[in-house]
Chains A and B, each alone.
Chain A
Amino acid sequence: MTRRWIALSVVFAALAAVAAPAHAAPSEPSATSREAAPARAASPNIELAQRPRKPLPGKPPAGAPKESVEADVSSRTIAVTSGFTGTEIVVFGSVVNSRQTSAEAGYYDVVVVLEAMATPLLARRKSNVAGLWVNTTSVGFEGAPSYYAIVSTRPIEEIADEDLLERHAIGLDFVRLAPAARSAIETQASDLKAFKEAVVRLKQKEGLYIKADYGVIFIGQSLFRSSITLPANVPVGPLTARVYLFREGELLSTFSSRVKFEREGIELWLYRFAMRQPVLYGLFAVFVAVAAGLIASTVFRRRDAA
Chain B
Amino acid sequence: MDALNQGPEQQIIDTLERLLKSPDIFYAVRIFVSRLLPVHQNNNKIAIIFHILGENNYIYKLSNQDVILLIRNVKKKQLEQLFDSIRSLFPRDPAILKNPPEYFIKTYNLKSEYRSFVQDLNKLENEEKINKNEKYKIPLTPENLEEEIQRAKLSDIVDAIRKQPVITLAAQQKIKILFYEFFTSTTLLGQKAIPNVNLLSDPWLFQHLTETLDLKVIDAIQNSKLAFLPPVISLNLNISSLFNPIFSDFSYKMLEKNITIIAEIQVRDIFSNPDGYIKAKEMLNKMGHKILLDGVNHNSLLFLDVISFNPDLIKIIWSSQLEDDYDIERLKQIREKNQKIILCRCDDEKALMWGVNNKIRLFQGVFVDKMVAALTKKICKNLSCSLAECIENLNAMPSNIYSKCQNTEIIDNPPFETEKIW
The finding on whether chains A and B are genuine partners in a shared complex, rather than unrelated, reads no
B residues apposed to A, CB below 8 Å: none
A residues apposed to B, CB below 8 Å: none
